[in-house]
Structure 1
Amino acid sequence: MGEQAELPEQAHRTLAEDFFDAAVALLQEVRDGEAAGIEAAGELLARTISDGGRIFAFGAGHSSLPAQDTVYRAGGLAVMNLLNVPGAVGVDVRPATLGSALERVSGLAAAALDSSPARAGDVLIIISLSGRNPLPVELALNAQALGLKVVGVTSVAYAAQTRSRHTTGTFLKDHCDLVVDSRIPLGDAELTAEGVDAPFAPASTVVTSAVMQAIVATATGALARRGVEPPMLRSGNVDGGHDWNARVMAEYADRIFYR
């Protein structure tokens, strides 16, 4: 009787692989579950651009990163603008905790909007993972009162499992014309491991950035179908890129506020 062959040891999974798998699973969930919301948001952007309106995006703390990712971006729409709320990014001020504190200050949203070029007929995309702090809630409330259309990119799970910090007891999702659910679970940490006392490896930036790029891509296709040349930016690191961008920026100068 021959010797039994030894089975190869199961390959050891790394935490990096676990994170990629978790992020991919979330991306697939959002792709499949939020397709209608992403399509509607992209169509809204295209309609607004076609009608001469402007597009703004805002996020506080790390939620600012997906907003920034769409502004002055090669392969992106030139008319994407960042709504500026000084200090709200958080990591660009000291102490960084000041940014978190500012999210809880009532009245800051109204001041930021009043000082911005945003006007009736424009679109404001508000990104907030939890959607529970006064700043994103009041931004949505004030923007709608001014006649802007509001798209919220947020985790609906937080509204079900946490309490709002706004005096109305409401969340960002309650004051939007459209909501795209990022599907991020409470706590925004995908992994646990022996010897690590807290969950770790957040995926919200990966997922929300993908949502924002999907919305912009949808808007780009919708503009083309309307017969409008999408105001795309090209990389400045390819030949002719700077000349292309100069032409686009000159054509849309009245709708670009980051120059």
Structure 2
Amino acid sequence: MSVTKQYLAKGKEILSIVENQEAIIQEVARIFSRSILDGRMVHLFGSGHSRMLIEEMWPRYGSFPGFNPIVELSLSFHNLVVGANGQRQAMFLENVSGLAARILRNFDTSPQDTALVVSSSGCNVVPIEMAEEFQKRNIKVVALVSRLHLEGSTSKKEDGKKLTDFADYVLDTGAPLGDAMIYLEGLDSPVAPGSTLGGVLLINCIKAEVAKILHENGQSPKVLSSGKIVGEERAVELFESAYDEHAHRLAKLYENVGKKE
């Protein structure tokens, strides 16, 4: 079997694992929808390559307002690899205790909010503490992890706790321990990871379910759409109105920052 067919076969296994989570996907969509219908936001966080799944949710074609992507460049800017702003620094910062609390200090959250925290291993300090901080604020947390990788890994948090210890719901990408899925004869390290594949499937299933709920409740989402589908004028209208809605929702997260009760 060619390596392409091997990867596609592994991909089908991941698809099946995601499909078997339909019930929890729908439950997650319901709690996310409640936040959006209440005029609040779903906070999204992922460090490292998990950033890709955050940006998959919003903003891009086929997505809509209601989500707050928290993307820290110091934790997720990989392009330079070495030198200033390199990967070594990002991987170091990903395990600095206290950083998550400093990030959330910027936002006036509400228990009406919800959160999605993405981490394939679920063992790096910042994503774990981000989920912990959300729960301290009485915000329900959804963890998106690779369960086999998480179970086979050791937490870098001092108390040994993992992301799933601070999650109300857990979604599994279906990727294996170590993430990479293809072994080559004579090469001791596998290639071609699977967590992004499973993660993107989960993100877009949630997105579709949330859109359905919003639409059925009279708050049809302003979906970023191609002019080839809806016409150029309508596409521009959707982009502008979606960005405006995002700004208005985001403004609520800043209006009471630092105020004492």
TM-score bracket for this pair, using the shorter chain length: 0.7 to 0.9
Unaligned runs of 5+ in 1: 1-12
1:135-184 per-position Cα deviation (integer Å, ceiling 9, x unaligned): 11100010111232211101222342222111221110110121112222
Report the counterpart of residue 61 of structure 2 in structure 1. 74
Matching residue within 247, 253, 256 for 2:241: 247
Runs of 4+ in 1 over 6 A off after TM superposition: none
Matching residue within 16, 20, 25 for 2:13: 25
Contact 1:189/1:203, CA 8 A, preserved across alignment? yes
1:66-99 per-position Cα deviation (integer Å, ceiling 9, x unaligned): 1111111111122222113231114146321211
Matching residue within 106, 122, 125 for 1:131: 122
User: TM-score when scaled to structure 2?
Assistant: 0.87
Which whole-Å CA distance do the structure 1 matches of 2:59 and 2:126 have between them? 24
Task: Indicate yes or no: 2:147 matched with 1:153.
Answer: no
Which whole-Å CA distance do the structure 2 matches of 1:44 and 1:87 have between them? 30
SS of 1:110's partner is: helix
Which stretch shows the higher mean deviation, 13-22 or 57-66?
13-22
| Count of residue pairs the alignment pairs up | 244
C-alpha displacement at 1:106, in angstroms?
0.2
C-alpha displacement at 1:188, in angstroms?
0.4
Contact 2:15/2:198, CA 8 A, preserved across alignment? yes
Which whole-Å CA distance do the structure 2 matches of 1:120 and 1:231 have between them? 24
Task: Indicate yes or no: 2:56 matched with 1:61.
Answer: no
C-alpha displacement at 1:247, in angstroms?
2.5
Which whole-Å CA distance do the structure 2 matches of 1:73 and 1:256 have between them? 17
The 3 A distance-change label for structure 1 pair 201 and 49 is same
Which whole-Å CA distance do the structure 1 matches of 2:217 and 2:41 have between them? 17
Unaligned runs of 5+ in 2: 252-261
Tell me the percent identity.
28
1:194-246 per-position Cα deviation (integer Å, ceiling 9, x unaligned): 13221111011111011111111111111122222123222366512112221
Which whole-Å CA distance do the structure 2 matches of 1:89 and 1:211 have between them? 21
Which stretch shows the higher mean deviation, 145-154 or 116-125?
116-125
C-alpha displacement at 1:119, in angstroms?
3.8
Contact 1:78/1:256, CA 8 A, preserved across alignment? no
Report the counterpart of residue 178 of structure 1 in structure 2. 169
* Residue identity in the other structure for 1:163: T
Aligned Cα RMSD in Å? 1.9
Which whole-Å CA distance do the structure 1 matches of 2:96 and 2:183 have between them? 33
User: TM-score when scaled to structure 1?
Assistant: 0.87
- Report the structure number with the largest CA radius of gyration: 1
C-alpha displacement at 1:21, in angstroms?
1.6
Q: Is the helix fraction higher in 1 or 2?
A: 2
Which stretch shows the higher mean deviation, 85-94 or 133-142?
85-94
Which whole-Å CA distance do the structure 1 matches of 2:79 and 2:113 have between them? 28
Which stretch shows the higher mean deviation, 53-62 or 101-110?
53-62
1:35-64 per-position Cα deviation (integer Å, ceiling 9, x unaligned): 122111111111111111112211111111
Which whole-Å CA distance do the structure 2 matches of 1:125 and 1:107 have between them? 19
Task: Note the 1:1-259 alignment, pairs <5 A.
Answer: 13-32=1-20, 34-92=21-79, 94-116=85-107, 118-235=109-226, 238-240=231-233, 241-256=235-250
C-alpha displacement at 1:185, in angstroms?
1.4
